[in-house]
Amino acid sequence: MPERVDQGNLWIAHALFDLGGIQFGDFTLGQTAVNSPVYVNPRVLLTQPLHLGRVAQIIQREVQAGQARRRPRYERFSLVAGVPFGGLLLAIAYALQTDTSLVYAHPARSGDKIHTVEGRVVEGDHVLILDDLMTGGTSILRTAELLEEGNLEVSDAIVLIDREEGGIERLRQRGYHVTSLLTLRQILTYYHETSLIEKDAYRRSMEYLERSGGEPPAESLA
């Protein structure tokens, strides 16, 4: 049965295409996505103030709907944090949209064992993490761990686009719940059904996703 897509979220896919954020060819993106026929760059959306604001509104609606469920999808949170750098832009936009306090985790510098969480926090505060693109999940995991080392609580993350290469499952195994506004399959299917891309590009990309199987190597959660 086809996965249902929020029609409002498909605006993201169309805007991404119009701004040149989708490219087809042969791309290697770290150890996780090797020889991928499709490259996704959501930051082209985040450089446009009107688009960034609209994405923040979509995230807000997702959070409200999730928390209103009989079994809430998200823990109640008082802080939002973004994964550098795209996720940080999302977090800033969301903070402005919802009047939610923002925190930012600085990794320890070379030779320094101390990292810093910027922002006004109370020990035990709950943080929602935002990111623009997820492959294997390393960036979200690192951000969550830094926040937890600062005595903050992390349960949930929202990503704009999931490349579907194991991130959601791998993070679930670590105790984190991740929601994606769109998956790469949903985006590609939308482009194919609206004739925005050639059939061959769609076929090669879907075959790649089938081969990748959603399971990045255990040592390369990226």
Per-residue pLDDT, 217: 38
Q: What is the pLDDT of residue 111?
A: 60
Alpha helices in the chain (DSSP H): 10-18, 43-46, 49-67, 86-98, 138-149, 167-173, 184-193, 199-212
Mind listing the pLDDT tens digit for each residue in 25-47? 999 876 667 789 999 999 999 99
Mean per-residue pLDDT, 151-172: 95
Alpha-carbon distance of 159 to 144, in angstroms, equals 14
Q: Which of 169, 150, 177, 163 is nearest to 208 (CA)?
A: 163
The predicted-structure confidence for 166-218, as pLDDT tens digits, reads as follows: 899 999 999 999 999 999 999 999 999 999 999 999 999 999 999 875 544 33
Average pLDDT over residues 117-132: 94
Residue 127 has pLDDT above 70, yes or no: yes
Neighbours of 75 (CB within 10 A): 14
pLDDT value at 103 more than 90: yes
Q: 121: which residues sit within 8 A by CB, 6+ positions away? A: 79, 103, 150, 152
Q: How confident is the model at residue 116 (pLDDT cuts 50, 70, 90)?
A: confident
13 has pLDDT over 80 = yes
For residues 215 and 30, give the distance between their C-alpha atoms in angstroms, rounded to a whole number: 15
Inter-residue contact 69 to 92 (CB < 8 Å): no
Q: What is the average pLDDT score of the chain?
A: 89
Q: What percent of the chain has pLDDT over 70?
A: 87
10-216, CATH topology level: Rossmann fold (3.40.50)
- For the chain, which residues make up each domain, given as ranges? 10-216
Strand, helix or coil at 10? helix
Instruction: Say if CB 150 and CB 124 are below 8 A apart.
Output: no
